[in-house]
């Protein structure tokens, strides 16, 4: 087969997917795995563009064509090394990134031939390499005496720790939860990301030299002042956990739930650590309000709990949904009833939820972000009955009360403000404190949090090197 024409002779082939009728009865991941032959063949479809659009569309700028070539040649361990040069959590991003909007959406072959299956190959690389005994190579790392405190064991914090330890700096990661991962563990459902994958990453990081201190909430169990005094620098990667509301009547009725507590309670029920807080929608009619990936997670979780009927209402049309097209497709296959162009205006009920009142919308001119604006159609009122409602409108940062004391500035919605005048990446207005991920950017993708955690770590390395240089100059 002519390598340059392989994309013509071999069609895009995703791994097998569990049929919808079976997968709604379990919380297992729905996508299968490639064999070595399949991964090599699908990787070989890459035409090695002169200008790799996939790489530029990827927030961490993965060396995608290069590791595809390595896999097509059967050089698995080299591909794993290369994958980790740009991404600290490749096996996780391969599972949960919206590749259809990022790398695969930008693939040259996406125009008629079927994009290269970049996400599934990224997942395959680390999964298979670890099975065969691959480990990160730190043999050339020169150990320093520097220690950095990291607040938050989510994607940004883990990525920061990864880069620091590769530069000989000891990271100590603190988190208020009993396990690492943040929303990777306690938000994203197991049918998208089985938790063993996160635990495996914890083991890798610990073997590299990262130390975790869990069930430790900074400001409550340990004062932030102690971190500042004990460490050479501190990174804040505490995510976004303030739930956004719709601002309409009935949001406080019995039977209305915010998305994250709902997802968290279901995951803890699977773990067996729920403490009687399990939110169960078995035999209930459910309406999920929102159009992002979190809304899709709630849709599909409710079905697996045995909900009678699940509606998902969004005020724009399907083409303008912020969520992954793949997740919308999966939701449809599993039986979700989508309500497009429906603006919720009131949750109805006296003491508990009885239904939701909607007004139909139409899309008009675009806003400054290029999105079409929904406008209400007069006289289009519609009521849909429901027993339970989930609010999945997104999240905002929740700045801690000790921020201002330590010159950590925030904007009007609580995002940490980075000092743009600093020469060190992601340094706050407190020179010793760095930050990145959702608490700086606002709620976003896991892969962007990884990128910012890694970038902040590079800033910390330069900051500590500058301190060493000053000491040397004084001496």
CATH number at residue 84: 1.10.1060.10
69 neighbors 43 (Cβ within 8 angstroms) = yes
Q: What is the mean pLDDT of residues 430-443?
A: 96
Q: Which residues, 6+ apart, have CB-to-CB distance to 254 below 8 Å?
A: 349, 351, 352, 353
Q: Quick check: is 250 in a domain?
A: yes
Q: What angle do CA 155, 239, 294 make, to 5 degrees?
A: 85
Are 254 and 387 part of one and the same domain?
yes
CA 228 to chain centre: 28
Q: How many domains does the chain have?
A: 3
Query: Could you tell me if 360 and 222 lie in one domain?
Result: no
Identify whether 139 is part of a domain.
no
378 and 402 in a single domain? The answer is: no
CA triple 301-303-309, angle to 5 deg: 135
294: part of which helix (H) or strand (E)?
helix 293-304
Asked if 321 and 272 sit in the same domain, the reply is: yes
Considering the domain architecture, whether residues 187 and 215 belong to the same structural domain is answered as: yes
Does residue 282 register a pLDDT over 60? yes
In the predicted structure, residue 85 carries a pLDDT above the cut 90: yes
Pair (412, 329) in one structural domain? no
Burial 47-76 (b: 16+ CB within 10 A, else e): beeeebebbebbbbebbbbbbbbbbbeeeb
Asked if residue 255 and residue 309 are part of one domain, the reply reads yes
| CATH number of the domain enclosing 377 | 3.50.50.60
334 and 237 share one domain:
no
Terminal-residue alpha carbon distance, the chain: 65
pLDDT at residue 4 greater than cutoff 70: no
Instruction: Quote the domain boundaries for residue 192.
Output: 147-241+396-474
138: in domain:
no
Confidence check: pLDDT of 474 > 60: no
pLDDT-based confidence at residue 6 (cuts at 50, 70, 90): confident
Using DSSP's 3-state secondary structure scheme, residue 48 falls into coil
The verdict on 22 and 122 lying in the same domain is yes
Ramachandran region, residue 275 (left: φ > 0; alpha: ψ -120 to 50; beta: rest): left
The confidence band for 370, taking pLDDT boundaries of 50, 70 and 90, is low
Q: How much is the mean pLDDT over the chain?
A: 94
Identify whether 140 is part of a domain.
no
Among 365, 391, 417, the domain-final residue is 391
Q: Please, are residues 63 and 54 in contact by the beta-carbon 8 Å criterion?
A: no
Query: Do residues 277 and 298 both lie within one domain?
Result: yes
Residue 338 domain-assigned (yes or no): yes
Among 131, 156, 181, give the residue marking a domain's end: 131
Q: Is residue 337 part of a domain?
A: yes
Higher pLDDT, 97 or 321: 97
Are residues 121 and 10 both part of a single domain? yes
What are the tokens at 119? 């996400």
User: What is the Cα–Cα distance from 259 to 278, expressed in whole angstroms?
Assistant: 13
C-alpha dihedral sign at 131, 86, 187, 33: negative
Strands, E, within 28-151: which ranges?
147-151
pLDDT by residue (tens digit) across 346-361?
A: 999 999 999 999 999 9
Looking at the DSSP bridge assignments, the partners of residue 362 are 375
Same domain membership, residue 380 and residue 326? yes
Q: Is residue 141 part of a domain?
A: no
Rounded to an integer, the average pLDDT of 360-375 is 82
pLDDT at 368: 63
Q: Which of 337, 363, 391 is the last residue of a domain?
A: 391
Structure tokens at 17: 């997917």
């Amino acid at each position: 087969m002519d390598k340059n024409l392989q994309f013509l002779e071999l069609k895009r082939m995703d791994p097998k997917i569990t049929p919808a009728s079976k997968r709604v009865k379990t919380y297992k991941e729905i996508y299968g795995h490639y064999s070595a032959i399949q991964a090599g063949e699908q990787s070989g479809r890459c035409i090695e563009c002169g200008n790799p659009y996939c790489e530029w569309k990827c927030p961490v700028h993965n060396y995608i064509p290069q590791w595809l070539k390595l896999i097509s040649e059967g050089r698995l361990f080299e591909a794993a090394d290369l994958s980790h040069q740009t991404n600290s959590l490749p096996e996780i991003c391969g599972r949960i990134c919206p590749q259809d909007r990022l790398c695969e959406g930008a693939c040259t072959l996406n125009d008629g031939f079927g994009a290269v299956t970049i996400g599934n190959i990224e997942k395959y690389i680390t999964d298979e390499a670890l099975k065969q005994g691959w480990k990160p190579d730190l043999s050339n790392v020169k150990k320093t005496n520097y220690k950095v405190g990291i607040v938050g064991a989510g994607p940004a914090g883990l990525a920061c720790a990864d880069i620091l330890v590769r530069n000989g700096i000891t990271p100590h990661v603190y988190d208020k939860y009993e396990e690492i991962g943040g929303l990777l563990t306690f938000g994203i459902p197991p049918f998208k990301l089985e938790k063993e994958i996160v635990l495996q990453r914890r083991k890798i990081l610990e073997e590299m030299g990262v130390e975790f201190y869990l069930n430790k909430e900074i400001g409550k169990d340990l004062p932030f002042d102690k971190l500042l005094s004990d460490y050479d620098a501190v990174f804040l990667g505490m995510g976004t956990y303030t739930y956004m509301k719709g601002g309409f009547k009935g949001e406080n009725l019995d039977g209305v739930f915010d998305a994250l507590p709902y997802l968290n309670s279901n995951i803890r029920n699977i773990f067996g650590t729920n403490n009687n807080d399990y939110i169960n929608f078995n035999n209930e009619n459910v309406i999920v309000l929102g159009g992002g990936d979190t809304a899709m997670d709630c849709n599909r979780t409710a079905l697996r709990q045995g909900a009678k009927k699940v509606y998902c209402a969004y005020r724009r049309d399907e083409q303008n949904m912020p969520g992954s097209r793949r997740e919308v497709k999966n939701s449809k296959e599993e039986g979700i009833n989508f309500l497009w162009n429906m603006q919720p205006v009131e949750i109805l009920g006296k003491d508990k939820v009885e239904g939701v009142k909607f007004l139909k919308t139409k899309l008009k001119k675009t806003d400054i972000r290029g999105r079409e604006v929904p406008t209400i159609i007069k006289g289009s009122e519609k009521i849909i009955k429901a027993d339970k409602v989930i609010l999945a409108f997104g999240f905002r940062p929740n700045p801690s009360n000790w921020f201002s004391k330590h010159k950590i500035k925030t904007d009007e919605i609580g995002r940490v403000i980075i000092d743009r005048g600093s020469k060190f990446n992601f340094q706050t207005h407190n020179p010793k404190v760095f930050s990145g991920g959702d608490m700086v950017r606002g709620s976003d993708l896991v892969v962007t949090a990884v990128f910012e955690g890694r970038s902040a770590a590079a800033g910390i390395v330069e900051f500590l090197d500058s301190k060493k240089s000053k000491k040397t100059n004084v001496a």
